Amino acid sequence: MRRRRFVQLAATGVLGACASMLVTPVTPVDGRVRLPLRNYPELNRPGGALRLRPDGTDQTFYVLALDDGTFAAVSPICKHQGCTVDIARDRLECPCHGSMYSREGSVLRGPTQAPLDRFPTSVTDGVLTVDLQSRV
Ligand code: FES
Domains and CATH numbers, the chain: 19-131 (2.102.10.10)
Residue 42 confidence (pLDDT): 93
For residue 44, pLDDT over 80 is answered with: yes
Q: Which atom of ligand 1 is nearest to the CA of 98?
A: 3
Q: Which atom of ligand 1 is nearest to the CA of 85?
A: 2
Residue owning the nearest CA to atom 1 of ligand 1: 81
111 CB near ligand 1 (under 6 Å): yes
Nearest CA to 126 among 69, 68, 72, 85? 69
Q: Which of 10-14, 60-64, 66-70, 110-114 has the lowest mean pLDDT?
A: 10-14
For residue 17, pLDDT over 70 is answered with: no
pLDDT tier at 43, thresholds 50, 70, 90: very high
Task: Compute, in angstroms, the gap from residue 120 CA to the centroid of ligand 1.
Answer: 24
Nearest CA to 19 among 42, 47, 43, 53? 42
For residue 62, pLDDT over 70 is answered with: yes
